[in-house]
Amino acid sequence: MNTINIRIANLEDLDQIAAVDCAVIQNDSRKLILKKAIQEQKCLVGELSGKIEGFLTFHTDFFECSFISLVIVSPSARRKGLASRLIKEFIGQSPTEKVFSSTNESNIPMQKVFDSLGFEQSGIVHNLDEGDPEMIYFIRQ
C-alpha cells in the first residue's frame, strides 16, 4: 500500500510539479503559473511513497471564496485516492468557509471525485472550452 503525504509545496518542488503537469497536458505552458502559486503558498503537493505524484493549486479571489483551480495527478498514480486527499486536505485548511472548483462536463472521473467528497453542483459556464462546458462545484468547510 502506498503512503500518501500532503504538504505545502516549496520552490524545490517546482520541477517535479511541472513534470507531473507536463505528463498530463503534454506541455510545460503552466510552469510560471505553478511557480507563482508555490511562491504564494497556494500549492499543495501529494506524495506517494515519497515521490510527488500530484498537486493542487488554489486562489482566494473568486468572489472572496477559495477556488481550487487545478487538481493534477500523474497518469501512473491515478485511482489511488490522491486527488481526494489533496482536496480534503485543502478544504480542512481553506482560508475561506466556501470552497469552489470546476471541471469539464466530459471529465467524469473528476465529477465522481467531487460527488464522493460532498460537493454540490453550483452552475455551468459555457464557452471556455468549445463544446465542453465547465461545471462549477461547491462545498462549505
According to CATH, the topology of domain 4-140 is: Aminopeptidase (3.40.630)
Domain ranges of the chain: 4-140
Is-contact 102 125, C-beta < 8 A?
A: yes
Which ranges in 1-141 belong to alpha helices (H)? Answer: 14-25, 31-39, 82-93, 108-116
**Which grid coordinates are listed for 130?**
468549445
Q: Render each residue's pLDDT in the chain as its tens digit; 141 residues.
A: 568 999 999 999 999 999 999 999 998 899 999 999 999 999 999 999 889 999 999 999 999 999 999 999 999 989 889 999 999 999 999 999 999 999 999 999 999 999 999 999 999 999 999 999 999 999 998
Stated pTM of the model:
0.94
What is the distance, to the nearest Å, from the Cα of residue 91 to the centroid of all Cα atoms in its chain? 11
**Confidence (pLDDT) at 2:** 67
**Confidence (pLDDT) at 141:** 86
